[in-house]
């Protein structure tokens, strides 16, 4: 990464993640929810519509090889909001921003630091957005406050975190993987049955790299009711 700036990682916990989003200006009519299984029956139990899926996965040789094979696009599609991640341990926050930013036609953001950041960066490059996030004290303070409120003790800033977050969103009938460590989004192809089922299939590809590992976690951005 180009920057040595490091944040405390946000716990993969809907309560903590929602506190960050709600404190940043996302209305409480939307929220992050646990996905308890990737079968169609369990996915159908989620509040609809599901507009974003977040995947947390443990890093390892097999997963790294899969990620290397998921090549970013040469150009970012029109209307797709994408930003680089230059802050260590901020992958969860960047994933949340990606999910919300690409669904502003459905999620009407309230006044707050998230709406201001997205408005201020809507015409910027992915690299410029990353630089502005680094310097955004309000987002940083909101992040830091909630990062210390998880169920597990927050690691020190110097501690290595061997997990990573990516977001999946739909735009113009395609499903995209947004990983701030890449230069641009990954086009995962056309949505098949539904966005959430297509996103689940992409999550399964990661899980197949380390099938005995129980530390994968899938979350969905949906209405709260």
**What does the pLDDT read at residue 212?**
85
Beta strands (DSSP E) in the chain are 30-34, 52-58, 163-171, 174-178, 186-190, 217-223
**What does the pLDDT read at residue 162?**
83
Q: What is the pLDDT along the chain (225 residues), one digit of tens a residue?
A: 334 588 988 889 999 999 999 999 999 999 999 999 999 999 999 999 999 999 999 988 888 889 888 999 999 999 999 999 999 989 999 999 999 999 999 999 999 999 999 999 999 999 999 999 999 999 999 998 898 876 554 444 444 558 899 999 999 999 999 999 999 999 999 998 899 999 999 999 999 998 888 899 999 999 998
* Given the residues 33, 98, 143, 164, the one annotated as active site: 164
CATH of 14-223, one of 1.10.4080.10, 3.30.1490.190, 3.40.532.10, 3.30.505.50: 3.40.532.10
What are the structure tokens assigned to 96, written together? 């949340």
Q: Is 164 a catalytic residue?
A: yes
Helix (H, G, I), strand (E, B) or coil at 187: strand
**What does the pLDDT read at residue 149?**
79
Nearest CA to 193 out of 171, 173, 169 is that of 173
Neighbours of 105 (CB within 10 A): 8
Q: Which whole-number Å values give the CA distances from 115 to 23, 131, 140, 176, in the listed order? A: 11, 17, 14, 22
Q: Is 188 a catalytic residue?
A: no
**What does the pLDDT read at residue 54?**
98
Q: Which whole-number Å values give the CA distances from 194 to 43, 179, 190, 191, in the listed order? A: 10, 21, 10, 6
In the sheet that holds 52-58, the strands lie side by side as: 30-34, 217-223, 52-58, 163-171, 174-178, 186-190
* Given the residues 91, 140, 203, 209, the one annotated as active site: 91
Q: What is the pTM of this model?
A: 0.92
**What does the pLDDT read at residue 154?**
45
Q: Which residues contact 223 (CB under 8 A, 6 or more apart)?
A: 29, 30, 31, 47, 48, 49
- Where are the chain's structural domains? 14-223
Give the distance, in angstroms, between the CA of residue 64 and the centroid of all CA atoms in the same chain: 18
**Peptide linkage before 74 cis (omega within 30 of 0):** no
**What does the pLDDT read at residue 152?**
53
């Amino acid at each position: 990464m180009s920057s040595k700036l490091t944040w405390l990682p946000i716990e993969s916990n809907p309560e903590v993640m929602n506190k960050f989003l709600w404190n940043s200006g996302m209305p409480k009519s939307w929220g992050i929810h646990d996905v308890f299984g990737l079968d169609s029956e369990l996915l159908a139990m989620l509040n609809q519509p599901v507009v974003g899926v977040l995947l947390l996965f443990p890093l390892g040789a097999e997963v790294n090889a899969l990620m290397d094979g998921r090549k970013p696009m040469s150009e970012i599609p029109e209307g797709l909001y994408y930003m680089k991640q230059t802050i260590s341990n901020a992958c969860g926050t960047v994933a949340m921003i990606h999910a919300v930013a690409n669904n502003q036609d459905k999620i009407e953001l309230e006044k707050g630091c998230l709406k201001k950041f997205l408005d201020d960066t809507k015409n910027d490059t992915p690299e410029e957005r990353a630089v502005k996030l680094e310097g955004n004290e309000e987002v940083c303070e909101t992040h830091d406050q909630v990062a210390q409120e998880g169920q597990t003790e927050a690691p020190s800033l110097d501690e290595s975190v061997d997990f990573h977050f990516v977001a999946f969103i739909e735009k113009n009938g395609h499903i995209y993987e947004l990983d701030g460590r890449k230069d641009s989004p990954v086009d995962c192809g056309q949505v098949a049955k539904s966005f959430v089922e297509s996103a689940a299939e992409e999550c399964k590809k990661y899980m197949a790299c380390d099938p005995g590992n129980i530390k994968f976690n899938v979350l969905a951005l949906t209405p709260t009711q």
